[in-house]
Chain A
């Protein structure tokens, strides 16, 4: 009886995972294949297989193609995927925790906090001993966490029930304030920090494998932390009191979710700058397609978020080639209208 139940339950969601995974695979292949030099998908599969399994020979393959795939396009696509996945799952978790379909690392100001942390690190030339290349992401994460904490504290001060709009408004206030601090620091330094502006707009270009090494441990840690809390997120999306009545250790679980969200956002910002709206659009879309149950919403958001950002990056570098647009521009062009639509729909429902 029990086994049978699990099987039927999985069958219902099986299609969802297949679809999302297919979308991601399609995005990866497209992302690697399209560019100034186009590469045939079969070549991509052969090259990557050869890299993974050394016994497969690489006959008939152009060394240039192999070089483009392994050194330029694959790391870029993987980085975009990891950043997209991180932002999407963090957004899904924030939305569940705050019972707010408009929450995402960008709209509630966490991304700005992470950016400030990163810029501050560069500005002051900070370096944590032994942390090495992880200094920047660690500061980003710390600032993400401080920001979300300050935002929630501030929102609660304004209004105990912490309405959706209050949190968003608070997020905007914090974003502008933190943005101003960043601008101030850029103005105070010379030319070399000006290039940071490009980075702040968000980009995954020319990062290489080193950045993937930076984000992976944080992504894995953050995602696991959130996935083990998916049930609690379900409960907390009915309100913190309700969750406590059901038996959830709300204080502990809430802290875990906030920390995990900050880790994911901080690390993503550290490697790619602020890319807005991924965390808003993807969880919303995933919820529309397959329901709000966080046990599935979180993993599906990872797949969908990764695929989405890979495609967005592809569009950003090909739409007016050879000029490359910042990826944040593409996500904002898709995301801001989506945000408006969700807001209008919510208002109509009330």
Chain B
């Protein structure tokens, strides 16, 4: 459809783009990325014929760009620039109708029913029909952008060039516009070439990405190959991290802000002093958010949290929506569910056990409450009927260190293994099967890390962190089980 071959050019003086080649197939959604000044807009201007190129060839449908008359070209390529100026107050429909210019023939260029149909169709598609008689100067930036999109579509182009089309749009219009472009490219075979500022949007919607660096092609490949942490960091010269998108298989890049001097110098840590024991409630307040991975009732999964609650509820606690009830409870006692990891237990929380361990460069604080009334042998759990009662062994591990994702997962494994060993040593039995239990039916665990100080890459059982976590969870669990059993005997 479009082929760029060794093109060099730009404004007077030094060329902005150097020796660039790429091909775009029909129906592709092709994204152009690059830092400011890397030549994105220059390329787009060359493709639309506004800016002549010094050397190389631009072929459109196999024919050299310079061999097209402006009208012929306008029937193939339409452009939606970043800014469209409007000096006079044309109506929306007049503005869109201008897009039919190239299709009108003869001296008087009469308006045909086909033109009228096309204009009405594109106004419908872009959702601007209802304000077609408005003055474009009265519209908001987003609405105006849609009017100019309709104008471009009225050209009935085969290729649509866009320069940061989502620039002035709020979130919902960004998505709407890109969804539309995606549909048109897939269903109608429209070839879309667009400059993107937002790497994440580009990654979500584009079939292929061209990454420019200093006017040269860095890479031209599928989004997953282009959006690699190392590459983006190098080209954009900034700190970013890559994450998986929660719903679709597309990479997402996030910026990492620079910490202020004061913040990075004062290394704070979590220890005994942060824990408050109230009636029926353990509260640990962190002075700053911790990165957590947990199976709590609120704040479960991965996130950043500041408040950690372990709440005693009666053994007969039964609630159809325990998550909502817990969130209400958190709010009631004056915390925000959005920054709180909350757990429940039928155990009296005064029987908690906590220990602080220091290992040179890092430290770990473990808090456990344990009751073994619902003890289960995981290997024989099919003998149990499913019934959700409040969790009875709740394990918190606070790490004063900087953990990788792997370390978080290994922490969970190590802690779980240590807990199982504690139950074994205490000879806690599964009441149904009569075998040694491995845990209880509703245990919860949370690993929280300050993400400051020592980098801890792994937390397997024989790594320095793993050793401390294993030991701590074992000791605390044993102590907590003993405490709660003592209370039962009394």
Contacts and interface: CB of A to CB of B under 8 A. Distances in A.
Given A247-B71, A247-B74, A237 B87 contact: yes
A100 B81 CA distance: 21
B98 A245 contact: no
A8 to B, nearest CB: 11
Contacts of A1: 113
Interface string A86-103: 000000000010011100
Given A245-B48, A249-B69, A238 B99 contact: no
A231 B137 CA distance: 20
Contacts of B88: 96, 99, 101, 237, 287, 292
A9 B97 CA distance: 13
A248 B70 contact: yes
Interface string A222-253: 00000010010011011101101111111000
A5 interface: yes
Contacts of B71: 247, 249
Contacts of B73: 247
Interface in A272-292: 287, 291-292
Which one of A96, A228, A293 has the greatest number of beta carbons of chain B within 10 Å?
A293
Interface string B344-365: 0000000000000000000000
Contacts of A245: 48, 50, 74, 77-79, 81, 152
Interface residues of B, number: 39
A237 to B, nearest CB: 6
B86 interface: yes
A291 B136 CA distance: 12
Contacts of A244: 48-50, 70
Given A6-B111, A241-B81, A293 B101 contact: no
Contact of B70 (A2, A5, A247): A247
Interface in B77-94: 77-79, 81, 84-91, 94
Contacts of B94: 234, 291-293
Contacts of A250: 70
Nearest to A253: B70
A292 to B, nearest CB: 4
B98 A101 contact: no
A144 to B, nearest CB: 23
B85 A247 contact: no
Nearest to A99: B87
A249 B87 contact: no
Nearest to B137: A349
A5 B111 CA distance: 9
B182 to A, nearest CB: 22
A7 B175 CA distance: 41
Contacts of B99: 246
Contact of A2 (B50, B87, B113): B113
A242 B116 contact: no
Contacts of A241: 50, 81
A218 to B, nearest CB: 22
B89 A292 contact: yes
B75 interface: yes
B102 A239 contact: no
A249 B81 contact: no
A238 B98 contact: yes
B386 interface: no
Contacts of A247: 70-71, 73-75, 101-102, 155
B316 interface: no
Interface in A29-68: none
B385 interface: no
Contacts of A2: 112-113
Given A235-B101, A246-B98, 6 more contacts: A228-B107, A238-B85, A242-B85, A245-B78, A292-B88, A292-B89
10 contacts: A2-B112, A9-B111, A99-B85, A228-B107, A231-B109, A237-B87, A238-B98, A248-B101, A291-B89, A292-B94
Top-9 shortest CB links A-B: A247-B74, A247-B102, A292-B88, A99-B87, A245-B79, A247-B71, A2-B113, A1-B113, A249-B70
